Chains A and B, each alone.
Chain A
Amino acid sequence: SQTIHQWPATLVQPVGSPLSLECTVEGTSNPNLYWYRQAAGRGLQLLFYSVGIGQISSEVPQNLSASRPQDRQFILSSKKLLLSDSGFYLCAWSVLGGYEQFFGPGTRLTVL
């Protein structure tokens, strides 16, 4: 069966510090991968998606970036965090051509 992991589960970082969140998927090959952010009281906002290694598309311009160094690994990064980057970050995957997405447990990021 397929599983998706995210770490860390929680993170508290000062403004201006770097960020690296990791997501890995097990039990499937060539998944589509997604990063979402969920701010307090708001819905989910798609940040990045990837259809293959090294292929990243950004939905919202911001100070975040994403990379996919391996087929089942997706990394969300920032060089300098802003207060507005606080939120709940969710990674998801889907099969190529599939209709539904499967979500990881999320990372709670607090920027102080």
Chain B
Amino acid sequence: AQSVTQLDSHVSVSEGTPVLLRCNYSSSYSPSLFWYVQHPNKGLQLLLKYTSAATLVKGINGFEAEFKKSETSFHLTKPSAHMSDAAEYFCVVSDPYSGGYQKVTFGTGTKLQVIP
């Protein structure tokens, strides 16, 4: 069985300071991992994905994440927060493709607040 834990439900940073959103996963297989962002009352947008290639993954809007198998972590970072980064972020783990259905498990989300 797979699971994902987002260690912080809320994170608050000042504009221009680094962002760190933490995610730990559990999977019986070599997982695919994703980060999605959701602005209020909007759908989810894919930020970045890890699918067993490079362990450091770069995404949109300056975000990146590093896959660390030994720590079962996939933390999301950004060097400098912007006001527009204020949103909710979801870490997602996916089992390998099986029977035509991609089973994914979402974390409970981390709300990022950016203070001017």
Contact = CB atoms under 8 A, between A and B. Distances in A.
Contact of A44 (B32, B41, B45, B90): B90
A104 B43 contact: yes
Contact of A42 (B44, B104, B108): B108
Interface stretch (B63-71, B72-80, B94-102): B94-102
Nearest to B104: A101
B101 A90 contact: no
A84 B75 CA distance: 33
A96 B101 CA distance: 7
A100 B49 contact: yes
A105 B42 CA distance: 5
Interface residues of B, number: 23
B46 A102 contact: yes
Contacts, number: 57
B100 A103 contact: no
B97 A99 contact: yes
B101 A49 contact: yes
B17 interface: no
Nearest to B33: A99
Contact of A101 (B41, B51, B102): B102
A57 B100 CA distance: 12
Nearest to B44: A103
A32 interface: yes
A99 B36 CA distance: 13
B25 interface: no
Interface of B: 32, 34, 36, 41-46, 49, 51, 90, 94, 97, 99-102, 104, 106-109
Across the A-B interface, give the 8 residue pairs with the lowest CB-CB distance, nearest first: A103-B43, A43-B108, A51-B100, A103-B44, A44-B106, A99-B32, A105-B43, A43-B106
